[in-house]
Chains A and B, each alone.
Chain A
Amino acid sequence: MTRSKDGELRDTALSDRELKRALAVTWSAPPGLWGALSTVDHKVIGRRYVATAFVFLALGGVLSMLMRLQLAQPEARFIGPDRYNQIFTMHGSNMMFLFAVPVMQAMAIYFVPLMVGTRNIAFPRLNAFSYWIYLAGGLLLWIAFVVDTGPDVGWFAYVPLSGPQYGAGKRADVWAQMITFTEVSALAIAVEIVVTVFKQRAPGMSLDRLPLFVWSMVVTSFLVIMAMPAIMIASTSLILDRLVGTHFFNPAEGGDALLWQHLFWFFGHPEVYIIFLPAVGMVSTIVATFTGRPVFGYLATVMALIATGILAFGLWVHHMFVAGLPRLGESFFTASSMAIAVPAGLQIFCWLATIWAGRPVFKTPFLFVIGFMVIFVIGGLTGVMVASVPFDTQVHDTYFVVAHFHYVLVGGAVFPLLGAIYYWFPKLTGRTMSEPFGRWVFGLIFVGFNLTFFPMHILGLQGMPRRIYTYQPEMPWSGLNMFISLSAIILAAGFLLFFIDAIRSARSGAVATANPWGASTLEWATASPPPPYNFARLPVVDSREPLWTEPAELRVAAGLGVDRRELLITSVAEAVPEARESSVGNSIWPLLAALATTVALVWSIFSPWAVVWGSIPVAVSLIGWFWPKGVPEDES
C-alpha cells in the first residue's frame, strides 16, 4: 500500500480487496441508532423514503375503502358529512403530497446516483434533511386527522372555503402547512437530482447516453423547481390571510379568489406530470430490459419527456373551464392540452415498437407495463375529452373526472411504480420478489382497478357529483355504486398481497445476483444491494447500454482518493472528468435542523411570532450543520 506524493491514499495503490475494505471504512455509517439518524447514504435514505411513502399509500387506501363503504348504499349512515369531508381531503392530499411525488423522487434518490455511476447524491445532508421534513409533514397531517382536525377543504383547498370566512378552526392551516413541509422536501430533492445528473456522471456518459429514467428524473426535477414555489406562495398567503388578517384572496378588500385557483393549478397541473414523467422513465427501463433491446426512438423519447415537461405549464386553466374566463383564453389551453397528446402518444408508439422488434419476456414488471399502457391510454383519451370546454362544462365535478384522473394517475404512475418495485427490488434488498405472487398481484390490481374505476365514467355521465357523502335512493346511482364498492375489495386485495409479498421477500426471498434480469444500466454493475460506496472503482461509459456492450468488464476511472469520501465531477454535456470533490460525512445536524424547522412551522399555525422565535433554533441548527470542520473541502 503506497501513498501519493501529497500523502493521500489513492485507489491505484490498492488491490481490489484492499480497496473495498478501505472504502467501506470511509463510506459506512456508524452502527446503531446514532448511525441510523445521522446517515447521509442516498441508498438508506431512498429506502426510507420508499417505505414511508408506501405506508402513506396504505393509509390512503384505507381511507378510500371507508369512502366506498359509505357510498355503497344510498343514505348510508356509516360516516357523517363532516368526517367524510375530512376523509376525501385526506385521501387526495395524502396520495398526492405524501405518496405519489415523494415515492417517485425516492426512487430517484436511490437509483439516479447508481445509474450515473457515482458514489453518493449531491448535497447528501440536504437529502437527509428532506426525508426528516417530509416525515414531519406526513405526521402533522395524520395526527391532525386522528384528533379530528384533519383538513376538510379538498386537496386543492379553494378559497373562500378554506379562507378565514368559512374555514373555521385549524383544519385548513394544517393542510397549508403540510404543503410547506412536503414542498420543501421535494424542492431539496429536485436540486440534488439536477446537480447529481449534470455534474457527477460517470466519465463518458454524455447527454445522449443518459439512461431514460435519469432523463425523466431531470425533467421532473425542473418541473418541481418551477412548479412548487407557486403552491408554497399560495399556501403561505392562505396562512397569512387566516392568521394575520391579510387579504390576498379576499375580494371584499381588494384580493382575488380566482388568484388561488391560478396559483394552485399552475402547480397542480405540472404535479400530474411530476408523477407521470418518472413513470415514463421506469417504463422505458423495464421495456428495454424485458425485450432485450434498447428502447426504439431514444431521441424521440427524450424529446417527448422535455416537451411534455414544458407543455405541462400551459395547461392549468383547463382545470378552471367553469370559472368564467373568456372562452378564447380557455381555448389556448385546450390547444395545449390537445398538443400534449402528441409527445405522450409518441412515447407509447416508441414502447410498442420496442416490444414489436424485441423478444418480450412476460415477467411481473413487464406485466405492469402492459397494464400501464392499456389504462393510461384510456385515461389519456378521456383527458382529450375533458380538454374540450363544452364537454368539460358538462362533466365538471362529476365522477367522470374522478374516473379520468384515477386512470391517469394510477394507470400512469402506480402501475409503472409497482412494476419498478418488482424490477428493482433485488437491487434494493438483495432479494427477489415472488413471481407467482407477482402475477396474482398484477391480475387482482388490474381487474380490480378497471372494475372499480371504469363504471365511475358512467356514474359521472349520469350526473353523480364528486365529494358527496351520500345520495338519495331515487337517484339512478345505487347499483353502480354497490358494484364499485365490491370491486374495490378486489383492488384492495391486490395491494394487500403486494405488501405481504414485499415484506416476505425482503426477509426471506431468493437471494439476488448483481444483475438478475440481464439489464443494461449501471446500477446493475454493482452488488445487490450495493455497498455504501456504490462502486469500488467508478465505471467509464462508452455507450447507452454499457452492460450490454461491455458485458465482461467495464473500463474504470483511476486515481480517486480513499481516505476521504471522494467523487468525480464531470462536465455537463460530455461528462469529461473535471475534478475530484469531497462528499460530506454523516451528520446529526440535518435531523436537528428538521426538528427545529418542524417546531417553527407547526407553531406558526397558531402564532405569527413563531416565525420570529422559531427561527432561532433553526439558525442554530444550520450553523452547526455548516460549521467548518477543518478538513479541506476540495483538493482537486
Chain B
Amino acid sequence: MRTRWLQWIGLGVAPLAWALSTELSQITPYIDCRQNIPWSAVFCGATLFVSVAGIAAARAVSPGRVQTKRFVVDVGFLIALAFVFALLLQEAATMLLDACQR
C-alpha cells in the first residue's frame, strides 16, 4: 500500500513544489522589498529542498517486476528532475535580482 502511494511521488511532489514557488513569486517580492528580508529565496529554497527529497523518495521505491509500475516511477523521476531544474533557475534569480526593482 505504501509503495503504491509512493510510486506517484516523483510525479506529484516536484511539480507541486514548483507551482507553489511560482505562485509565491507573485507575492513575496513585495514583502522582500518592504522588510528587506529575502523571503523569495527562502521559500524557493524550501520548495527546491522538498523537490529533491521527493526525487530521493521516488528513487527509493522498488517498482518490483510490474512493468507499468516501473514505468510510472521512472516517468515521475524524470519529471521531477525537470522541475528541480526550473526551481534551480528560480533560486538563482532570487540571488541575482533586487526585489524592489520594477
The answer, yes or no, to whether A331 is at the interface (CB within 8 Å) is yes
A330-371 with Cβ < 8 A to chain B: 331-336, 338-339, 342-343
Residue of B nearest to A575 (CB): B68
The answer, yes or no, to whether B55 is at the interface (CB within 8 Å) is no
User: Contacts A310-B15, A324-B102; is A333 near B22 (CB within 8 Å)?
Assistant: yes
Cα A324 to Cα B102 with chains together (Å): 6
User: Contacts A299-B71, A326-B33, A573-B68; is A335 near B93 (CB within 8 Å)?
Assistant: yes
Could you show 7 A-B contacts with beta carbons less than 8 Å apart? A208-B68, A208-B71, A300-B78, A314-B19, A329-B26, A339-B85, A343-B82
The answer, yes or no, to whether B35 is at the interface (CB within 8 Å) is no
Cα A325 to Cα B97 with chains together (Å): 13
Other than the given A324-B102, A328-B98, 15 more pairs (CB < 8 A) read: A206-B67, A206-B68, A207-B72, A208-B67, A299-B78, A300-B78, A302-B75, A306-B79, A310-B19, A310-B83, A311-B82, A328-B97, A331-B96, A333-B25, A342-B85
Residue of A nearest to B96 (CB): A331
Instruction: Tell me the smallest distance from the CB of B3 to a CB of chain A, in Å.
Output: 14
Contact B79 A303 (CB under 8 A): yes
Contact B93 A332 (CB under 8 A): yes
Residue of A nearest to B101 (CB): A327
The answer, yes or no, to whether A313 is at the interface (CB within 8 Å) is yes
Contact B89 A574 (CB under 8 A): no
Residue of A nearest to B66 (CB): A574
Q: Give the 7 A-B CB pairs with smallest separation, nearest first.
A: A335-B89, A339-B86, A208-B71, A332-B25, A331-B93, A326-B29, A303-B78
Q: Which residues of A contact B74 (CB under 8 A)?
A: 299
Q: Which of B32, B83, B98 has the most CB of A within 10 A?
A: B83
Contact B98 A332 (CB under 8 A): no
Q: Which residues of A contact B68 (CB under 8 A)?
A: 206-208, 573-574
The answer, yes or no, to whether A307 is at the interface (CB within 8 Å) is yes
Cα A327 to Cα B93 with chains together (Å): 10
Residue of B nearest to A327 (CB): B101
Q: Which residues of A contact B75 (CB under 8 A)?
A: 299, 302-303, 306
Contact B67 A307 (CB under 8 A): no
Q: Which residues of A contact B21 (CB under 8 A)?
A: 332
User: Contacts A300-B78, A314-B19, A339-B89; is A328 near B25 (CB within 8 Å)?
Assistant: yes
Interface size, chain A (Cβ < 8 Å): 32
User: Contacts A326-B33, A335-B93, A342-B82; is A207 near B22 (CB within 8 Å)?
Assistant: no
Residue-wise, chain A 295-308 has the 8 Å CB interface mask toward B (1 for contact) of 00001101100110
Contact A326 B93 (CB under 8 A): no
Residue of B nearest to A314 (CB): B22
Q: Which residues of B contact A334 (CB under 8 A)?
A: 89, 93
Q: Which residues of B contact A307 (CB under 8 A)?
A: 78-79, 82-83
Contact of B29 among A310, A328, A333 (CB under 8 A): A328
Q: Which residues of B contact A206 (CB under 8 A)?
A: 67-68, 71
Cα A332 to Cα B86 with chains together (Å): 9
Q: Which residues of A contact B29 (CB under 8 A)?
A: 326, 328-329
Instruction: Tell me the smallest distance from the CB of A38 to a CB of chain B, in Å.
Output: 39
Cα A328 to Cα B11 with chains together (Å): 27
Q: Which residues of B contact A336 (CB under 8 A)?
A: 18, 22, 86, 89-90
Q: Which of A327, A329, A339 has the most CB of B within 10 A?
A: A329
Contact B18 A314 (CB under 8 A): yes
Contact A329 B78 (CB under 8 A): no
Residue-wise, chain B 5-39 has the 8 Å CB interface mask toward A (1 for contact) of 00000010001001101100110011011000000
A260-309 with Cβ < 8 A to chain B: 299-300, 302-303, 306-307
Q: Which residues of A contact B85 (CB under 8 A)?
A: 339, 342
Cα A409 to Cα B98 with chains together (Å): 35
Q: Which residues of B contact A326 (CB under 8 A)?
A: 29-30, 33, 99-102
Q: Which residues of A contact B90 (CB under 8 A)?
A: 331-332, 335-336
Instruction: Tell me the smallest distance from the CB of B9 to a CB of chain A, in Å.
Output: 15
Q: Which residues of B contact A573 (CB under 8 A)?
A: 68-69, 72
Q: Which residues of B contact A574 (CB under 8 A)?
A: 68
The answer, yes or no, to whether B40 is at the interface (CB within 8 Å) is yes
Contact B71 A207 (CB under 8 A): yes
Residue of B nearest to A324 (CB): B102
Cα A302 to Cα B75 with chains together (Å): 7
Q: Which residues of B contact A338 (CB under 8 A)?
A: 89
A204-259 with Cβ < 8 A to chain B: 206-208
User: Contacts A207-B68, A314-B18, A335-B90; is A328 near B32 (CB within 8 Å)?
Assistant: yes
Instruction: Tell me the smallest distance from the CB of A477 to a CB of chain B, in Å.
Output: 32
Q: Which residues of A contact B93 (CB under 8 A)?
A: 328, 331-332, 334-335
Contact of B97 among A303, A313, A331 (CB under 8 A): A331
Residue of B nearest to A342 (CB): B82
Cα A208 to Cα B96 with chains together (Å): 42
Q: Which of B19, B67, B71 has the most CB of A within 10 A?
A: B71
Cα A430 to Cα B85 with chains together (Å): 47
Cα A206 to Cα B70 with chains together (Å): 12
Q: Which residues of B contact A342 (CB under 8 A)?
A: 82, 85
Instruction: Tell me the smallest distance from the CB of B38 to a CB of chain A, in Å.
Output: 10
Residue of A nearest to B30 (CB): A326
Contact of B99 among A208, A306, A328 (CB under 8 A): A328
Contact A311 B86 (CB under 8 A): yes
